[in-house]
Amino acid sequence: EAGVAQSPRYKIIEKRQSVAFWCNPISGHATLYWYQQILGQGPKLLIQFQNNGVVDDSQLPKDRFSAERLKGVDSTLKIQPAKLEDSAVYLCASSFGSAPNEKLFFGSGTQLSVL
Amino acid sequence: AQKVTQAQTEISVVEKEDVTLDCVYETRDTTYYLFWYKQPPSGELVFLIRRNSFDEQNEISGRYSWNFQKSTSSFNFTITASQVVDSAVYFCALSEGGGGFKTIFGAGTRLFVKA
């Protein structure tokens, strides 16, 4: 069974530039999550999708971050414009359902460096 | 509000030593779920175990064991006879059973196992 796919693996940009990350969840998983992991910290949820609808985006900085999951499968997270403090690993995860006891399956992440 | 505290930032042990990773959580819900995830150098978080708030039985899986104590709000993880391959960052996580759940993670404990 294929895991959660993410690309690119690494990205280096200058502040004020824009960047986009892509995620393809495990086939059949209805719920998709984007987490931000700053060095030395645990993952922080940015946005959660159930199929193509947003369940929780309370911690997404909406002035610069956007995400979509148009067909309820793969998803794109965009940052525009990027700030230095956006340097982090962006992790995508998926789960079969949306119950609180769901175990999450993670991709390898995209490491973003903003210079 | 939910919170997960992993007070140990880094632990270093010599191979074959036993090691315990501490996790303390806070929640107002009576129904909740606790998790442990492992993040090896490849970056992909891997699910290890899930526990619900009504099941305080300890669990053993090979060299891994988990001690859940509601009285102290702790869910500690012990690795017996550690191996170099156990070197990773370990995250404790909490998900509440109420509506609008999200899984929050502790800051993680980095474990170094030296040969």
SS3 sequence, chain B? CCEEECCCCEEEEECCCCEEECCEEECCCCCEEEEEEEECCCCCCEEEEEEECCCCCCEEECCEEEEEEHHHCEEEEEECCCCHHHCEEEEEEEEECCCCCCEEECCCEEEEEEC
Candidates A44, A101, A111; nearest CB to B95: A101
- Residue B33 is nearest to which of A93, A100, A105, comparing CB atoms? A100
A72: helix, strand or coil: coil
Residue type, A51: N
What span, in angstroms and rounded, lies between the C-alpha atoms of A84 and A38? 12
Give the number of other CB atoms < 10 A from CB of residue B94: 26
Average pLDDT of the residues in A25-45: 94
Give the pLDDT score at B98: 66
**How much of chain B, in percent, has pLDDT values that exceed 90?**
77
Instruction: Examine the pLDDT at A5 and tell me if it is beyond 70.
Output: yes
Picking from B4, B96, B106, the nearest residue to A100 by CB comes out as B96
Residue A76 · residue A22 · CB < 8 Å: yes
Residue B38 contacts residue B90 (beta carbons within 8 Å): yes
Interface test with A, best of B10, B102, B104 (most A CBs within 10 A): B102
Collapsing DSSP to helix, strand or coil, A11 comes out as strand
Average pLDDT of the segment spanning B75-92: 97
**Using beta carbons and an 8 Å cutoff, which residues of A are at the interface with B?**
3, 40-45, 48, 55-56, 89, 91, 93, 99-101, 103-109, 111
Q: Are A88 and A37 in contact (CB under 8 A)?
A: yes
Chain segment B49-76, per-residue pLDDT in tens? 999 999 888 888 899 999 999 999 999 9
Distance CA A30, CA A15 (A): 34
First and final C-alpha spacing in chain B = 41
Looking at residue B99, what is its pLDDT?
58
Question: Which of A89, A91, A103 lies at the smallest CB-CB distance from B47?
Answer: A103
Identify all chain A residues contacting B46, using CB atoms and an 8 Å cutoff: 106
Looking only at the bridges linking them, the beta strands covering A44-50 and A105-106 are unpaired
Other beta carbons within 10 Å of B55: 12
pLDDT band of residue A1 (cuts 50, 70, 90) is: low
Interface test with B, best of A37, A60, A103, A111 (most B CBs within 10 A): A103
CB A32 within 8 A of CB A49: yes
CA nearest to B92 within chain A = A42
